[in-house]
Each structure stands twice: as C-alpha cells, then as structure tokens.
Amino acid sequence: MKTINKIDEENLETDWCMHIALFFLLSAFLLITVVSASLPDCEFNLPTAKSGTCVNIINSCANCSFINISTVYLPPSSGEILSLDAEMTKNGVSYNYSFCNTTIIGTYVVTSFGDPNGELVISNTCFETTRSGDNLSGVQGAILFIPLIVFCFLTVYFGGNFFVSNTIIAKAMYFDLAYFIGLLPVTFLMYSIVNSYLPTFTVVSNVLYYAMYIVIILCPIVFFVSSGYMVYDRVMATQDKKLIERGHSESDIANRARRRR
C-alpha cells in the first residue's frame, strides 16, 4: 500500500509539473504573438533601433519631385507630436532623413508627403526603439526564452517536490532550490525581456522591476529561515531519539514529528 501511494504521489507531481510547464510555454508563445502585432498599421516599417541613436528614415519614389516629413508622432508615453516640415534628401529615386530625437522608448510614427505624378500623397513610416536596439523577433530576444523556460520548469519542479516532501529538511531544501535556482532567475529574465524588448509594456516592466527587487531583498531572509528550520528539525530529531531511549513509543514520536510538519 505504501509503494502504491508513493507511485501515485510521484505521478501526481509529474502531471502537475507538466501542466504548469505547458502553461509557461503557451504564455511565452502568446507574448511573442502580441509583440509581433504591436506596431500600428503603416506603409513602411523600419527595423528596431536603439534609443538615443539616429534613425535613417527612408522612402523611395521614381516620379516625385520632393518628399517632406510633416510630423513625427512620439510614443504614447510622451503624448508629443513634433511638427518638422523637413525636406528629405534625394538621391536618385531614394529619399533619406536622419531623425535623432529617439530618447523615448516606444513606437514612432513618421508622416511624410510627396508628389508622385503631380498628386499629393501622404504616407506613414513606423519604427520602434528599445534599450537594446533589438526585439523579440530577433535572435537575441528569442534566445532569452530558452533559459526562461528552463528556470520556469525548475521552479515548478522544485516547488512540486516541496509540497510532497515528508520531512522538514527536504521541504527547506526544495524551497531554497525553487527560490534561488527557479524564482530568482525567472523574475530577472522576465524583467530583462520586458524592459529591453517590449517598450510599450511600461506598466508590466515596472511591476516586474519591483517584483525582482522584492525577491532579491528577501534572499537572505529566505536563506536564514530555511536554515533555521533545518537546525530546528535536527534538534527535534535529537530530542525524539532521547525520548525513545527513555521508553516513549515510536508511534508517539511519529505523531509528534507529524505535528511539527
């Protein structure tokens, strides 16, 4: 009967871990899908640029005498609209303008106008700025999800073992592993991804920053509390051993140990 119960507990733990791991995988996939559709509809989308650097806004027209930039809509966090009325530099059929006011993180919409075939035509060009100059569709952003998934799985695995463990020492050990090898790197990676690659998720970035800050602050407290529980369990085990030597029954000692858990 004990063997069957142990097998059932192991199967339950495995199923629980697999369901949580699947949840994290689906969440990551959903996040990538949302980010891929984050830019507004524009005629042209320029590559993601690093904030604080100049962005070459390019356009092309074979039968235009000019293309000018009228306005630049800064990211929604600023709510500003710059009226430039700047002439783009012509080079054959290509037009270029270097825009350097990119200190604000987010999506920029550049409105330009030209005269193809003598008719006035307005178009929008979009680009996004991040702290890293990359986005989640790039290699650097995608690679971050690999360790994130691994650490999420470790958090779930060690957390599951914490709940099914029968001794205080095992619970304290698995709690430390889930916290320091799982939760701590998970919060750091999630904050790094959102802060560096998701400029429009400002609220989420702030929440993750404070969550990471709290997790780091609690590290010594978690370590000393779990170590204290281990020492407490060893002291109680020594006292139980002395009680047995004095003639107390093993069932009473077992009940006493069970109440401690």
* Domain boundary assignment for the chain: 2-35+137-260, 44-130
Q: What is the 3-state secondary structure (H, E, C) of 215-260?
A: HHHCHHHHHHHHHHHHHHHHHHHHHHHHHHHCCCCHHHHHHHHHHH
Distances (CA, A) of 75 to 14, 86, 130: 45, 20, 11
* pLDDT by 10s per residue, the chain, length 261: 444 444 445 455 555 555 555 665 566 555 555 554 455 567 678 888 888 999 999 988 989 999 999 999 887 766 788 888 899 999 988 999 999 999 888 889 999 999 998 899 998 998 888 887 877 765 666 677 788 888 888 888 888 888 888 777 888 889 999 999 999 999 998 888 888 777 667 777 888 899 999 999 999 999 998 888 788 777 776 766 665 666 655 565 555 555 555
Q: CA–CA separation, 175 vs 85, rounded Å?
A: 61
Residue 89 and residue 169 in contact, taking contact as beta carbons nearer than 8 Å: no
Residue 115 and residue 65 in contact, taking contact as beta carbons nearer than 8 Å: yes
Distances (CA, A) of 245 to 201, 258, 259: 63, 19, 21
For residue 213, the surrounding DSSP H or E stretch is helix 202-217
What is the CATH topology of the domain spanning 44-130?
Immunoglobulin-like (2.60.40)
DSSP class of residue 127?
E
Q: What are all long-range contacts of 183-191, with beta carbons under 8 Å and residues at least 24 apart?
A: 183/155, 183/215, 184/215, 184/216, 184/219, 185/147, 185/151, 186/148, 186/151, 186/152, 186/155, 187/211, 187/212, 187/215, 188/212, 189/144, 189/147, 189/148, 189/151, 190/148
Reported as half-sphere exposure (CB side, CA atoms, 13 A), residue 175 has a value of 19
Instruction: Output the pLDDT for position 250.
Output: 57
Instruction: Output the pLDDT for position 4.
Output: 42
Instruction: Output the pLDDT for position 219.
Output: 93
Tokens of 93: 């059929």
Task: Report which residue type is found at 224.
Answer: F
For residue 111, the surrounding DSSP H or E stretch is strand 106-114
Instruction: Output the pLDDT for position 84.
Output: 83
